[in-house]
Amino acid sequence: MKSFKIIMSVLALAVVMASCTKEQQNDSSQPVDKGITKATVNGLNYVKLFAGQTIYVGTASFEEKTIDGVRYLEVCYEIEEPWLMTQFHFDIKDIPVNKQGSPMIGNFDHSASFNPGVEEHCFMINLDEEGLECDGTYEAAAHAVVVKDDGNGGVISQTAWGEGDLFRGKGSWAMKFNITMDDCLPPPDNFCYQKETAFGGESAGSGNAWWFYFDPNLGTPQSIFAGQTIYVGSIAYNGSEFTISLVDGWELTSSPESVKAQGYNTLPTRRPVAGLFTLYKGTDLTFPASGFSYYVIHLDVQKSIPCL
Contact criterion met (CB below 8 Å) for 1 and 108: no
Q: Which whole number is the average pLDDT over 91-115?
A: 95
Q: What is the pLDDT of residue 26?
A: 34
CB-CB neighbours of 100 under 10 Å: 10
Which tens digits make up the pLDDT trace of 192-250?
788 899 999 999 999 888 999 999 999 999 999 999 999 999 999 999 999 999 999 99
Which tens digits make up the pLDDT trace of 38-81?
567 767 789 999 999 999 999 999 988 877 778 899 999 999 99
Q: What is the pLDDT of residue 71?
A: 87
Quote the CA–CA distance of 244 and 257 in Å, as a whole number: 15
The torsion defined by the Cα of 31, 32, 37 and 39, in degrees rounded to 10, comes to 0
Confidence tier at 2 by pLDDT (50, 70, 90): very low
Residues in the chain, overall count: 308
Q: What is the pLDDT of residue 183?
A: 78
Proportion of the chain above pLDDT 70, given as a percent = 85
Name the residue among 210, 204, 209 with its Cα closest to residue 267: 204
Q: What is the pLDDT of residue 214?
A: 98
Which residues fall within 8 angstroms of residue 252, CB to CB, at 6 or more apart? Answer: 246, 258, 259, 283, 285, 299, 300, 301, 302
Contact criterion met (CB below 8 Å) for 80 and 57: yes
Q: What is the pLDDT of residue 126?
A: 94
131 or 67, greater pLDDT: 131
Helix, strand, or coil here: 140? Answer: strand
Q: What is the pLDDT of residue 300?
A: 94
Which tens digits make up the pLDDT trace of 15-46?
333 333 333 333 333 333 333 345 677 677 89
Contact criterion met (CB below 8 Å) for 29 and 17: no
Q: What is the pLDDT of residue 121?
A: 95
105 or 306, greater pLDDT: 105
Cα 107 off chain centre by? 24
Helix, strand, or coil here: 103? Answer: strand
Which tens digits make up the pLDDT trace of 247-271?
999 999 988 999 999 999 999 999 9
Q: Which whole number is the average pLDDT over 163-167?
A: 95
- DSSP letter (8 states) at residue 174: -
Q: What is the pLDDT of residue 16?
A: 32
